């Protein structure tokens, strides 16, 4: 426990077990982006997975929507300390997308329209832990929240859930993405408060 | 990068507006910071309950002190305490300064366009102060020799009313063309005697006020989400390169310009 701030009692007295250390609850949906929002139409959009052999697995918007869709209810945790509980998403599991992919590599880099990147170990994308989401709360995902589609890796801080995602690149070694090169943690587990280096 | 919690001494406080206050903190061991960085502040209640929020650094000081300007949010948990309860001599727990993206680098010779919505002016003020600190500095220290100090800066500041503007006197004093130009857009209440009625920032005003795209300025936009989204969109559509636009958005319910 840190130094006590005299006269400070806080407003949220309840210890919510769903809340990782250092996080507070929000009902709104704040936006955190490093630059302008890319405007990508579904016709322009595609998603790729690129392996070490140079093989590119590719899905158009229509092919992506034709895959098995999951409805996901999950908590999300932003490194700027807000958490939002019980959010509803619809999208395609990375397990589904990786069914046809052969790779021996253990690391990935997510690439987004607009140039954003973030690194995620493959283990954290598989096993029902991650999706490419295109709906939030029953509506098409808004561009400022990453639409047409974003990566959803809710067990890591939310900067790992790359907005405007356009592909995954398999990597031999873990490499830092955009925020990871700008002071943020390589892995980003909210329960261990892996915010900064 | 300072990533652990440190105890900061509150050196002084001063009121910026009726709802905002600047806290000057001393963080032992700190040796300056980059313009545009933020810190996390942690408050702890007697029972151990803690609340953490991020605040932009407003100052550009070389040593172990820094300033935060905090706007009191009506439904805030931490900001009312920082704006009304904290006094000189108190201590606060602080993490940082952190951030390596939304920062101005004096080594960059590019002209700089800053665009602020409301309290979003805080990290941009740190950049203006860092720029001014280098301008005219004797070359003995070498600090004034970085090319960025000679680059023109512009601030476009969208704010509710003259009384809600932070740092107005200082900005008036610092605004000497071409090193710093300051333009205001008043959204609710214009200054007394102004011929321009209050209005929201629109694309035409924006594009006639900011540095033109052919100058290839480094652009920093900070404010509520809707403000930043709208302004960044207008700039991209007008031909500014997305790569040159850095944004920082405040969460919650913002308004459009």
Which structural domains are found in chain B, ordered by start?
5-98 (2.40.30.10), 112-250 (3.40.50.80)
Q: Which of A25-39, B22-36, B131-145, B218-232 has the lowest mean pLDDT?
A: B131-145
Q: Rounded to whole angstroms, how far apart are CA atoms A142 and A139? A: 8
Q: What is the mean pLDDT of residues B22-28?
A: 97
pLDDT (tens digit per residue) in B228-239: 999 999 999 999
pLDDT (tens digit per residue) in B157-193: 999 999 999 999 999 999 987 899 999 999 999 999 8
DSSP β-bridge partners for residue A184 = A196
On the question of pLDDT at B255 being above 60, the answer is no
In chain B, what residues touch A24 (CB-CB under 8 Å)?
Answer: 51-52, 77
Q: Provide the percentage of residues in chain B whose pLDDT is more than 70.
A: 93
Interface test with A, best of B1, B9, B33, B49 (most A CBs within 10 A): B49
- State residue B225's pLDDT score: 86
User: How high does pLDDT run on average in chain A?
Assistant: 93
Quick one: three-class SS letters along chain B?
CCCCEEEEEEEEEEECCCCEEEEEEECCCCCCCCECCEEEEEEECCCCCEEEEEEEECCCCCCCEEEEEEECCCCCCCHHHHHHHCCCCCEEEEEEEECCCCCECCCCCCCEEEEEEHHHHHHHHHHHHHHHHHCCCCCCCCHHHCHHHHCCEEEEEEECCHHHCCCHHHHHHHCCCCCEEEEEEECCCCCCCCCCCCCCCCHHHHHHHCCCHHHCCEEEEEEEHHHHHHHHHHHHHCCCCHHHEEEEEECCCCCCC
Taking an 8 Å cut-off on Cβ atoms, the answer to whether B91 and A3 are in contact is yes
Domain boundaries, chain A: 68-192
Q: Which of A1, A181, A196 is closest, CB to CB, to B44?
A: A1
Q: What is the mean pLDDT of residues B11-30?
A: 96
In chain A, what residues touch B256 (CB-CB under 8 Å)?
Answer: none
- State residue B256's pLDDT score: 39
pLDDT (tens digit per residue) in B63-85: 999 999 999 988 888 999 999 99
Q: Which of A31, A182, A195 is closest, CB to CB, to B101?
A: A182
On the question of pLDDT at A13 being above 60, the answer is no
User: How high does pLDDT run on average in chain B?
Assistant: 90
Q: A68-192: what fold?
A: Sulfite Oxidase; Chain A, domain 2 (3.90.420)
Q: Provide the percentage of residues in chain A whose pLDDT is more than 70.
A: 97
User: Looking at per-residue confidence, does A143 or A81 come out higher?
Assistant: A143
pLDDT (tens digit per residue) in B90-145: 999 999 998 889 999 999 999 999 999 999 999 999 999 999 998 654 444 445 57
Confidence of residue B2 (pLDDT cuts 50, 70, 90): low
ipTM of this predicted complex? 0.80
- The residue of chain B nearest to residue A79, with distances taken between CA atoms, is B54
Taking an 8 Å cut-off on Cβ atoms, the answer to whether A33 and B249 are in contact is yes
Q: What is the mean pLDDT of residues A13-22?
A: 78
- State residue B74's pLDDT score: 85
């Amino acid at each position: 426990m840190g130094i006590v701030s005299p006269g400070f009692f806080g407003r949220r007295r309840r210890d919510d077990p769903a809340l990782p250390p250092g996080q507070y609850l929000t009902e709104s949906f704040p936006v955190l982006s490093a630059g302008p929002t890319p405007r990508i139409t579904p016709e322009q959009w595609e998603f790729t997975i690129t392996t070490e052999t140079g093989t590119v697995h590719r899905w158009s918007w229509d092919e992506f929507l034709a895959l098995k869709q999951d409805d996901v209810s999950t908590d999300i945790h932003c490194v700027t300390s807000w958490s939002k509980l019980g959010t509803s998403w619809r999208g395609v599991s990375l397990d589904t997308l990786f069914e046809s992919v052969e790779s021996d590599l253990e690391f990935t880099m997510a690439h987004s329209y607009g140039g954003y990147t973030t690194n995620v170990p493959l283990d954290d994308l598989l096993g029902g832990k991650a999706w490419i989401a295109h709906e939030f709360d029953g509506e098409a995902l808004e561009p400022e929240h990453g639409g047409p589609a974003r990566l959803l890796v809710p067990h890591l801080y939310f900067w790992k859930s790359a907005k405007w995602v356009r592909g995954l690149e398999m990597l031999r070694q873990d490499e830092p993405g955009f925020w990871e090169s700008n002071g943020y943690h390589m892995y980003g587990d909210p329960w261990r408060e892996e915010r900064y280096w | 990068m300072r990533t652990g919690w440190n105890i900061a001494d509150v050196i002084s406080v001063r009121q910026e507006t009726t709802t905002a206050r600047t806290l000057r903190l001393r963080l032992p061991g700190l040796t300056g910071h980059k313009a545009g960085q933020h810190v996390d502040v942690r408050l702890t209640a007697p029972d151990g309950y803690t609340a953490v929020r991020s605040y932009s650094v407003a100052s550009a000081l070389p040593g172990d002190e820094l300033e935060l300007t905090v706007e009191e949010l009506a439904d805030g948990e931490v900001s009312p305490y920082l704006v009304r309860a904290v006094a000189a001599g108190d201590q606060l727990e602080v993490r940082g300064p952190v951030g390596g993206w939304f920062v101005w680098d004096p080594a960059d010779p590019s002209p700089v366009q800053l665009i602020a919505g409301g309290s979003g002016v805080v990290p941009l003020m740190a950049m203006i102060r860092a720029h001014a600190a280098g301008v005219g500095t004797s070359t003995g220290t070498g600090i004034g020799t970085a090319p960025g100090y000679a680059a023109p800066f512009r601030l476009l500041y969208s704010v509710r009313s003259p009384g809600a503007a932070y740092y107005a006197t200082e900005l008036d004093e610092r605004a000497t063309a071409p090193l710093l130009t300051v333009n205001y857009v008043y959204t609710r209440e214009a200054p007394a005697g102004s011929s321009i009625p209050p209005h929201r920032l629109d694309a035409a005003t924006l594009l006639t006020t900011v540095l033109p795209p052919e100058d290839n300025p480094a652009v920093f936009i900070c404010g509520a989400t809707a403000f930043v989204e709208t302004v960044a969109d207008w700039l991209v559509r007008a031909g500014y390169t997305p790569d040159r636009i850095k944004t920082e958005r405040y969460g919650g319910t913002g308004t459009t310009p």
